[in-house]
Amino acid sequence: MEKICIGVDVGGTGIKLGMFREDGTLIKKWDFPTDTSDNGSHVLPDIAKSIQTMTEESFHGKAELIGVGLGVPGPVQPTGYVEVGVNLNWREMYPARELSELLGGVRVEVGNDANVAALGEAWRGGGEGAANAVLITLGTGVGGGIIMDGEIVTGKHGLAGEIGHIHVRDGETEPCNCGAVGCLEQIASATGIVREAKRRLAKEKERESGLRAFGDKLTAKDVCDLGREGDALADEIMETVAKYLGETVAMLCMTIDPEIFIIGGGVSRAGAYLLDKIRVYYDRYMKISQNRGRVVLAELGNDAGIYGAAKLVLG
């Protein structure tokens, strides 16, 4: 009888699942929309039903489910307690315990989604083979995860890895979604890049730039693409983004000193154009030693979460 585990990446709009062999080989992956109605009470039963259905269809009862790994949005305390499940309408839950009960007592491990993605990238992605890694995800927000000695670092209150809410800019007046001001997320996320661009366009009304043609439909990808193509204003905006990212990487390097920094999320699709800029500022702010963590791109894309979730179980 084949032994399998399931990795689950729970998002506010969609749930991604992967079925893995005990050796970490991905057998298949699938997804379905997240039902957040009724205070998110359908999320875990839907996951349990999907796992049971897919396992039966794939193995006709001839497989042993050895465990399920679960990545969820929001801080997860070491006890598995989730005070707030961001975008899921969850409050004060123990999702691993509840999912285990729905699956008849199967072992379930849970972690914050960004931390779990970091574990996946360190295991089978851009940081493969690294026991100590930091993932910085540049998406709608800025997320992060810290892996030390092959284990997720959650901290006493589940807040470790909240890299997007490190204060980097003095003089900011608009609040971040977290309630503070001057957070990295306000500058380096996809939302932040667009905000930076619109600010610059409004301030420099006479300056020519291809960014103006997009109007209110401007995206972070547009800024990255035009910057790479030589649009001066777009390139300056990406320099600003890279400056704060490079500064943050340097601070993290001197705080936890990982083997590798992995840059992921949608914005990371800018590739070498962005990565080279980050490295320039990393070098500028990190003069104490040349023997330090490398900065690389993530490789697993949207699959990082399911790989990391599976790793929670496989150890």
- Per-residue pLDDT tens for 257-299? 999 999 999 999 999 999 999 999 999 999 999 999 999 999 9
Residue 256, number of CB atoms within 10 A of its CB:
14
Is the pLDDT at 140 greater than 90? The verdict is: no
pLDDT of residue 23: 94
Mean pLDDT (whole number) for 214-230: 97
* Of 59-63, 117-121, 286-290, the least confident: 59-63
Take residue 95 and report the two structure tokens written for it. Answer: 């999702």
pLDDT tier at 73, thresholds 50, 70, 90: confident
Amino acid at 229: E
Q: How far is CA 24 from CA 18, 120, 170, in A?
A: 11, 11, 45
- The yes-or-no verdict on residue 105 having pLDDT over 90 is yes
Across the range 185-194, mean pLDDT stands at 96
- State yes or no: pLDDT of 158 exceeds 80: no
Residue 85: predicted pLDDT: 79
**What mean pLDDT comes out for the span 153-171?**
90
The CA–CA distances, whole Å, from 87 to 39, 73, 111, 113 equal 10, 7, 16, 12
Task: Give the burial class of 238: count Cβ atoms within 10 A of its Cβ; 0-12 exposed, 13-18 middle, 19 or more buried.
Answer: buried
pLDDT at 60: 82
**Please, what is the average pLDDT of the chain?**
94
- 66 burial class (0-12, 13-18, 19+ CB within 10 angstroms)? middle
Residues 6+ apart with CB under 8 A from 21: 2, 3, 4, 27
Q: What is the mean pLDDT of residues 29-56?
A: 95
CATH superfamily entry for domain 2-120+303-314: ATPase, nucleotide binding domain (3.30.420.40)
Output the 3-class SS for the chain. Answer: CEEEEEEEEECCCEEEEEEEECCCCEEEEEEEECCCHHHHCCHHHHHHHHHHHHHHHHHCCCEEEEEEEEEECCCCCCCCCEEEECCCCEEEECHHHHHHHHCCCCCEEEEEHHHHHHHHHHHHCCCCCCCCEEEEEECCCEEEEEEECCEECCCCCCCCCCHHHCECCCCCCCECCCCCECECHHHHCHHHHHHHHHHHHHHCCCCCCHHHHHHHHCCHHHHHHHHHHCCHHHHHHHHHHHHHHHHHHHHHHHHHCCCEEEEECHHHHHCHHHHHHHHHHHHHHCCCCCCCCEEEECCCHHHHHHHHHHHHHHC
- Tell me, what's the pLDDT at 221? 97
Same fold, 2-120+303-314 and 129-299: yes
Evaluated on CA atoms 303, 17, 123, 69, the torsion sign reads positive
Give me the mean pLDDT over the 1-12 stretch: 93
Residue 110 has pLDDT above 90, yes or no: yes
What is the model's pLDDT at position 138?
A: 93
pLDDT at 159 over 90: no
Q: Inter-axis angle of helices 95-102 and 43-59, to 10 degrees? A: 40
pLDDT grade for 13, boundaries at 50, 70 and 90: confident
Question: What is 129-299's CATH number?
Answer: 3.30.420.40
Are 219 and 190 a contacting pair, CB within 8 Å?
A: yes
Q: Output the pLDDT for position 99.
A: 97
CB-based contact 312:20 (threshold 8 Å) = no
Single-letter residue type at 250: A
Enumerate the domain spans of the chain: 2-120+303-314, 129-299
Its pTM stands at: 0.86
310, pLDDT greater than 80: yes
